[in-house]
Amino acid sequence: MSEARAHDTGTTPLDLGWMDRQGEWGIRATPSKQGLTLADIQIGSYGEPGEHSDNQTGRPRGATARADSYRIGGYQVTRKSEIWLDNASFLYEEALQRQWSSATDVPWHTIKPLPDDIEQAECQLATFFTEVEFVAGDVPARWIASTTPDFFEPRQCLLAQVMDESRHMDVFRKRALANGGGLMQTSGGTAGVVGSIDLARDFTEMSSRLHISGEGAVLTMFRMGELMAYNEAEKAMYRLCAQDEARHVAFGVMHMRYMSETAPERREEIQCYLDEAERQILAGSQNPAGTQTDSSEALAILLGGGKDKYDEGVKKLIAIRKRQVQEYIKRVRSTGFGDRFDNGRSSLLDGVAHSIAR
Amino acid sequence: MSEKPRDTTGGGVTPPASDPPQMEPNLKWMGKSHQWGTRVKPNKHGLRLGDLNVGIYGEVPPVWTDQTRAPRGAVARRGVPPLGYAIRDKVDLWADSAADMYEEAIQRRWAPATSVPWEKLAPLPDDMERAMCQICTELSQYANADVESVTHWQAQMAYGYHEIKQFLATVSFDGARHMEAFRKRALANGGGLGLEGPGEVNRMILESRGGWTEAVLYLFLMRGLFTQTVYRYLERYAPGEVERTLFAHCLEDKARHLTYGIDHLRYAVNHQDDQNLILQQLCIIGERVLVRELNDVVMREALAIVFGNGISGAEEGMQIYRRMMADYINRYLATLKWLGVERKMMFPAELTAYLKAS
Amino acid sequence: MAVFPSKAWFDAVRAEFNADESFQGGGGGACNTLMGAKVGGVCYLLTFEGVECSVAAEVAESDLAAADFILEMPSRDWQEMIRNIADNKGADLHHTLNTLDLAREDGLSHSVHGDQYREDLFFRYNQTLQYFFDASARITTEFRE
């Protein structure tokens, strides 16, 4: 029989057999004080997923499977411990509620001409952020498509992160082109080399580099940006970016904590990722606060208040660098991997951080 | 036991974390800009992404050869290892409207938790609730395919076409919201999730391997226009304010996606020989897949029940369903005609039947 | 007129903050945290729930252990910040919460528990917290010396 003859545009009697093949029935989630949140609908069999997902058809978690559905997902992340965190629903809702617009929530009219050395430093830093911010857009995007939708809560967080990073990329481009300057030279710091965020082949490996060390470092830089702002526009820009970044860091901390608690057999492996992260991301060219780069020089000029006050800026930079390392160490402790700072494994203890960690 | 980190980076080029920035700056980065003196002013819409396209910063080349994250207009650093972006031809992704759609998406953001008046949900007759929950289940699965397709491709797009990457970040974020919103509706009124969809069109979208343009045809035009039409009719025939609000928000989002989709397809047809013929062939293939999916009674019956306000009104509801399908097909054909894609050859009789039936 | 520091002062600021929906946009919005504030020897706990600051309470110093993070400065520095906010209808470039945290040798935000995940809430909700203190420009403050 041809498809044409078999096709029914809705002229035959209703079948309605599907009404007997629906998921758990009688669910009535009620809105809480903050609306109807994802947490509010985690009830009955629609609550937390199991430890392993065999959903390869992309069906919503809890929907009734069809036996004849195609296995189109090809999902790589199918074990809960690989991506889960206890408060993903909360972080996602927070991300939705705290979105902002770089077009209208930054008071661009407050930008006034700056001395050339300051403007160049500002633009150098803006170029750096325009370059690196979408690492955290490209990379999570790849993992979203390869994670089973049964773990949709962390996926939702990552989708919000891609959106946030997109906004960060554009707000710094806007800053570079808004005050008589322009884009400057890139750092090349996000190249595809072994151990980079881009090339991680495991989600937790990626998250340890991206969320814990990478974004933790950038969070400090955004805070520095707010400190050294020369106008209300820069103040708002950095403050709002820092909020987003702190949410991404929170994702990484909570995921790694979950991993530590539920997959202890992977602890040693995770320690290796942290080793790499501490050597490359915290200390490498992706972190201008960590070593001397074009962007660190720009930071020093901004912090000092001009090229002629570079040394003063460097002193401030070193002080903030200590804060950066201190916060990193406390975050790693919060994930449950703090033993690396007690047993001498962490290379951060070799130098400036030694006294801080104690 | 103390263990030093293994050096898995293949080299020791990175200074240890403890190295403070050197005191003497080289400042060689100063003065390195392809275009200095750029001062884009905010207007009554704020400072938008598209406003930045001035001078060299607005020059969008037909091929983006750089394989790093060098922002468009920045001075690229030489010798940076490539990241392997696969989509580097403007014709494969561009749409002039992307920058505006990006800003519009941000301005018109909403949150399912708080933008939908969930407290106004009222119990529905069992047949209506089952139908609504089935619709929400399938629409949530559609949104999942949106998310997985877009995030898969977005990460492969060259940095020089940042407007597209950024717009797509809003699309996948919209998809996240739609997945969430439909799930919430299914679990908020005494029902539950239904039977998963047949997944034929999802498979076609996710298995598009001929390039982003092919994915755009299936994702935004064929499926996206269908989804948008469903939203329109559901907004019109929804049983209550909650559903009407929900579908109205989703409808706006979908309209943006479609604007980009059509804009890109037009750009591709206008700038690439035989692209209209390629799209024609893809349509012939895709329409057959669509027909097979439409053969599945579940979504059709559920829609007819909602449109007819119950099983007892399903006959009338089915007439509305056929009218909806005719609207969809007419718009689909009109859009393809506008794009220069002829769709008389091998157009499925099953789809033509909807035009006659209405 | 409200005296700083006092529960009445925080309540007056809360009323201004909660009444203005503009504080829920522009990077503000849902904020869920228990914030401590230590002004000289007087301690407060402020509860932020959703888009509101729902409770302000004067507490014993030991109760600050429950706070996700604590804002602590000498009285004169608190007064300077609040006077600056009043004079400028919002903190100027040198008196925002984050700037004070980084620029002051002792910082501004810390915790008893030392859990950076919880301390990070100061960064995650920074715009909301700034809105909150900026709302103090709308009341008349008298300082308790």
Cross-chain residue pair A28–B190, CB shorter than 8 Å: yes
> C113 CA to chain A: closest CA distance, Å?
11
CA–CA–CA angle A265, A269, A270 (5° rounding): 100
d(CA B299, nearest CA chain A) in Å: 10
Per CB-CB distance under 8 Å, the chain A contacts of C110 are: none
Q: Which of A98, A246, A253 sits opposite C29 (nearest CB)?
A: A98
pLDDT value, residue A320: 83
pLDDT for the residue numbered B299 = 97
Contact at CB, B147 and A130, closer than 8 angstroms: no
Residues of C in contact with A331 (CB under 8 A): 116-117, 120
Structure token digits, residue C84:
């600056």
Question: Does the beta-carbon distance from C123 to A242 stay under 8 Å?
Answer: yes
List all residues 6 or more positions away from A355 whose beta carbon is below 8 Å from its beta carbon: none
* ipTM score: 0.94
Tens-digit pLDDT profile for chain A (358 aa)? 344 445 678 778 999 999 999 999 999 999 999 999 999 999 999 999 999 999 999 999 999 999 999 999 889 999 999 999 999 999 999 999 999 999 999 999 999 999 999 999 999 999 999 999 889 889 999 999 999 999 999 999 999 999 999 999 999 999 999 999 999 999 888 776 666 788 888 999 999 999 998 899 899 999 999 999 999 999 999 999 999 999 999 999 999 999 999 999 999 999 999 998 888 756 555 566 656 789 899 999 999 999 999 999 999 888 888 888 889 999 999 999 999 999 999 988 765 444 344 3
Q: Mind listing the pLDDT tens digit for each residue in B201-254?
A: 999 999 998 999 999 999 999 999 999 999 999 999 999 999 999 999 999 999
- Give the distance from CA C138 to its chain's centroid: 15
Tell me if A334 and C28 make a contact (CB, 8 A cut-off).
no
Total beta-carbon pairs less than 8 A apart between chain A and chain C: 100
pTM to 2 decimal places: 0.94
Residues of B in contact with A25 (CB under 8 A): 190-192
Two structure tokens written together for A170: 């554009």
Residue C26 backbone class (left: φ over 0; alpha: ψ -120 to 50; beta: rest): left
Q: Chain A partners of B124 at a C-beta cutoff of 8 Å?
A: none
Measured distance CA(B92)–CA(B170) in Å, rounded: 19
Q: With left for phi above 0 and alpha for psi between -120 and 50, is residue C27 left, alpha or beta?
A: left
Q: Which chains touch A (3 or more CB pairs under 8 A)?
A: B, C
Tell me the sheet residues that pair with A132.
none
Strand C2-4 relative to strand C141-143: parallel, antiparallel, unpaired? parallel
Residue A194 contacts B, CB cutoff 8 Å:
yes
| Radius of gyration for the alpha carbons in chain A, expressed in angstroms and rounded | 24
Sign of the torsion formed by the C-alpha atoms of B228, B233, B239 and B244: positive
Chain A residues within an 8 Å CB radius of C28: 98
Inter-chain touch B82–A38, beta carbons under 8 Å: no
Cross-chain residue pair A62–B109, CB shorter than 8 Å: no
Please spell the DSSP secondary structure of B121-158, one letter per residue: -----HHHHHHHHHHHHHHHHHHHHHHHHHHHHHTTB-
Tell me the C-alpha distance between A295 and A116, whole Å: 16
**A39 in reach of chain C (CB within 8 A):** no
A110 and chain B in contact, CB less than 8 A: no
From the list C27, C93, C116, the residue facing A334 with the nearest CB is: C116
Mutate to test the interface with C, among A87, A167, A227 (most CBs of C within 10 A): A227
CB A217 within 8 A of CB A210: no
Q: A178 is written with which tokens?
A: 């808004």
Of A230, A231, A249, the CB nearest to C120: A249
Identify the pLDDT of residue A318.
87
- Of C143, C27, C47, C25, residue with least CA distance to C86: C143
**A198 HSE (CA, 13 A, CB side):** 21
Give Cβ neighbours of residue A250 (< 8 Å, ≥ 6 apart): A87, A91, C117, C120, C124
Give the integer Cα–Cα distance in Å for A167 and B170: 10
Q: Does A357 touch chain B (CB under 8 A)?
A: no
**Count of CB pairs separated by less than 8 Å, A with B:** 465
Work out the average pLDDT over B284-302: 97
- Measured CA to CA, the distance from residue B97 to residue B104 in angstroms comes to 10
Banded pLDDT at B69 (limits 50, 70, 90): very high
φ/ψ region of C29 (left if φ > 0, alpha if ψ in -120 to 50, else beta) reads left
Q: Are A243 and A311 in contact (CB under 8 A)?
A: no
